[in-house]
Amino acid sequence: MIMTKLKEHPLFIFRNFKYVFIGRVISAIGDKFFAIAIAWWIVSSGGDNSKMHLGLLMAVNVVPIVLFGPLLGTLVDRSDKRKAMLTADFFRMIFVFSLAMIMVTGNLTLFILYGLCFFISMFGPLFESSVASSLLKLTSKEKLASAAALDSSVMQISNVFGSALGSIFIAIIGIAGAFFFDSITYAVSFIFIYMVNANLAPSANSESKYWSEFKEGINYVFKSKSLLSLMLTFAAFNFFVGPIFIIIPMIVKFTLNESVTWLAIFETFFAFGSCAVAIAMSFKKRCGNTYMLFFCSLLLMGFSFLGLYFAGNKYLIALLLLSAGSALGMGNALAITLFQRTVKEEMKGRFFSVLTTVCYAVLPFTFMLNGFLAQQISVKFSIMINSAAVIILSFIVLIIPRIEDKANIVDTEIC
């Protein structure tokens, strides 16, 4: 039974999908090394304002996604997706390598760090929109739901390995070494994407102007109440869940007074929960009512997050993060698969770039806000506010307009 399911899994059936998936996982592992190294460098050397600096740095990483996401999404729909992925990997490799060299020479400042992180993040939407709009061409209509669920687990899979090994590698090769490692993973990803031989060019050579297509993509999203409702719910969810990524380092450093090893452990538990659920969903054909499951995942996330307010034991915190990660993995897989099944193929590049932009637009503000709250009041106060909001938000999912598939298969065969 297990072997049969494996043989029918899109990762084993479609070679080009496998190459893209492997490339993404490898580069994302490097990104996790990079993120852990930066976060620990900030909280360890930022002095009394380290919490504020961490929140500001996380905001800087998100700003280019918000600014350039929709523009790059339109470019993706007009371009060869394979070439777009290669371009994104190449420039991210160059910028990360430059950052590593500057650190080795001892010339790294917060201003330079913010600037290079901005340019690195700028190419993220180009790569992610290209992948999201290529899944059908890399797989098949029958396997699209499974491929989408697995694709949603990429970050979590990489976070498991990146978090588990991050502290060990940083202790051995140092923070600059982690940056060099990240640049190498982009090179490896470039090689795997180069091996893809599927035709990822636009379905038709559109003669319409760039700005006409850009406006068409925006109108497509905002004219659909059901798409817009779920998208805005996603954005609100990001606003209150996103801070967990700066709260975890703060808990380790300022609440528990532990080393970077426990940061890696906590990150690993959180990522493993999300990863395990998303992968499990990629093997399932039916998951019942999508919106009810989405509601349950948000509710579980909220209560798990709230548990961090009361927990003072390291092992209990790890279990709560495992639960929170599982809830996050289910919610992401359900929503992304739903979008993959219902959005028009020729609009996917623009749609997913708008989705990314809307969801990420809230992050700079929430990172800076929670950095300020943690600095001026306490980390636990930040946890309490965000967890309560997520619990309240989960009930909104039950009343928003439903996205319906014309073939009536969304809620009965969503993943």
Question: Is the per-residue pLDDT at 165 higher than 80?
Answer: no
Is the residue at 403 inside a domain?
no
CA pair distance 85, 75, nearest whole angstrom: 12
Q: In this prediction, what percent of the chain has a pLDDT beyond 70?
A: 81
In a domain, 318, yes or no: yes
Whether 59 is in a domain gets the answer yes
d(CA 213, CA 330): 33
> Into how many domains does the chain fold?
1
For residue 75, is it within any domain? yes
Contact call for residues 160 and 250 (beta carbons, < 8 A) = no
Q: Give pLDDT tens digits for 250-274.
A: 888 777 877 767 777 787 788 778 7
For residues 89 and 185, the answer to whether their CB atoms sit within 8 Å is no
CATH of the domain at 115: 1.20.1250.20
Span 57-96, pLDDT tens digits: 777 777 777 777 767 777 777 788 888 889 989 998 999 8
> Domain range spanning residue 306?
2-197+213-396
b/e 224-258 (16+ beta carbons within 10 angstroms → b): beebbbbbebbbbbbbbbbbbbbbbbbbbbebbee
The whole-number pLDDT of residue 90 equals 93
Report yes or no on 15 lying in a domain.
yes
Whether the Cβ atoms of residue 327 and residue 271 lie closer than 8 Å to each other: no
Look at residue 409 in the predicted model and tell me its pLDDT: 42
pLDDT above 50: residue 415: no
Instruction: Output the average pLDDT for the chain.
Output: 78
Taking only the tens place, the pLDDT of each residue in 215-243 is 776 777 777 788 788 888 878 888 888 88
313 vs 65, higher pLDDT = 313
Which pLDDT belongs to residue 7? 67
411 lies in some domain:
no
Q: How many CB atoms lie within 10 A of CB 307?
A: 18
pLDDT tens-digit map of 108-117 = 777 888 888 8
Kindly state the average pLDDT of the residues 23-46.
Answer: 75
Under 8 Å CB-to-CB from 77, ≥6 apart: which residues? Answer: 133, 202, 213, 217, 346, 347, 348, 349, 350
Highest mean pLDDT among 245-254, 268-277, 319-328: 319-328
Task: Kindly give, in sequence order, each residue whose CB lies less than 8 Å from that of residue 86, ignoring residues fewer than 6 positions away.
Answer: 190, 193, 194
CA-closest candidate to residue 170, choices 276, 272, 58, 267: 267
Tokens of 100: 């590593």
Residue 373 has pLDDT above 70, yes or no: yes
Q: Which residues does 145 contact at the CB level (< 8 Å), separation at least 6?
A: 285, 337, 340, 341, 413, 414, 415
pLDDT of residue 408: 39
* Whole-number pLDDT of residue 190: 94
249 contacts 371 by C-beta, under 8 angstroms: no
Residue 329 contacts residue 273 (beta carbons within 8 Å): yes
pLDDT band at 188 (very low <50, low <70, confident <90, very high): very high
Query: How large is the average pLDDT for residues 385-405?
Result: 84
More confident of the two residues 94 and 12: 94
pTM (2 d.p.): 0.65
When pLDDT is cut at 50, 70 and 90, the band that residue 206 belongs to is: low
* pLDDT given at position 414: 39
**Does the structure show a pLDDT above 70 at 394?**
yes
In a domain, 192, yes or no: yes
Tell whether 410 is covered by a domain.
no
Alpha-carbon distances of 378 from 20, 370, 371, rounded to whole Å? 42, 10, 10
- Among 244, 238, 268, residue whose Cα is nearest residue 359: 238
Buried b (16+ CB within 10 A) or exposed e, 66-79: bbbbbbbbbbbbbb
Residue 319 confidence (pLDDT): 92
The pLDDT value recorded for residue 411 is 40
Per-residue pLDDT averaged across 285-301, rounded? 79
